[in-house]
Amino acid sequence: MGKDVIIACDFPTGDAALAFLDNFTEEKPYVKIGMELFYSAGAPIIRAVKERGHKIFLDLKLHDIPNTVKQAMAVLSALDVDMVNLHAAGTRAMMEAALEGLMRPDGTRPLLIAVTQLTSTSQERMRDELLIDMPIDEVVLRYAENAARAGLDGVVCSPLEAGAVHGRCGGSFLTVTPGVRFADGDVGDQVRVATPERAKQLGSDYIVVGRPITKAEDPVAAYRRCVAEFVG
């Protein structure tokens, strides 16, 4: 599986996202479309970005009863996206149902990636509100193992966790890692960050990079720098 840089297209409207992608005349970056853009621009923005030749990671983090997730995944799969995700907390039955829903008539399907614990969830909140007593690092790995057992392709995690996830779930289990910053750039609200080069050394399979590219003075140069550091 080739390493790639995914640009987090966190824009409020379809027009803003397409205007940003207009910058890219030579390469066709893999893009992540999340809740904000999808809820504002819907299926048409997926089709428009696909028509321009980009791969799409549709980041909607589904979590519901197995049958509902299965039917919803069938709808997303028909949009011809390349990667989708869900919460591993939905249980293995939900993850297996999601995989069934994603399968297309021609036998292909998007990659399916699990969110383990959100990075906004602290050890204390997990213990006091989610009532989970285990150390959060172990919870992340156990949820990743559940995802692997359900047949998923990988997890979203920090680059700093990529090695442990591969150790527990196998080298071909994908790690899709946000929290990437240039050595000389702003960290912003991210806490546990790594540079693209360090993410590569740590074994990330895909890095998800938002503001270091979308807010850069020259987004194409910033994207190329990520690719040069991460893919080489």
Residues forming the active site? 61
Is the Cβ of residue 29 or residue 179 nearer to ligand C5P in the bound state? 179
User: Minimum Å distance from CB 106 to ligand C5P?
Assistant: 30
Retrieve residue 95's tokens: 């993850």
Q: Going residue by residue from 131 to 170, which x/- string records binding to ligand C5P, judged by CB under 6 A?
A: -------------------------x--------------
Q: For residue 219, state whether it binds ligand C5P (rule: CB under 6 A).
A: no
Is the Cβ of residue 87 or residue 109 nearer to ligand C5P in the bound state? 87
DSSP state, residue 180: B
Retrieve residue 145's tokens: 């193992």
Among 208, 219, 222, 226, binds ligand C5P (CB under 6 A): 208
Q: For residue 119, state whether it binds ligand C5P (rule: CB under 6 A).
A: yes
Among 16, 190, 197, 227, binds ligand C5P (CB under 6 A): 190
Q: For residue 56, state whether it binds ligand C5P (rule: CB under 6 A).
A: no
Quick one: which H or E segment has residue 202?
Answer: helix 196-202
Closest C-alpha among 19, 5, 77 to residue 46? 77
Residues 6+ away with beta carbon under 8 Å from 13? 37, 40, 41
Q: Based on DSSP, count helices (H) and strands (E) in the chain, helices before strands.
A: 10, 8
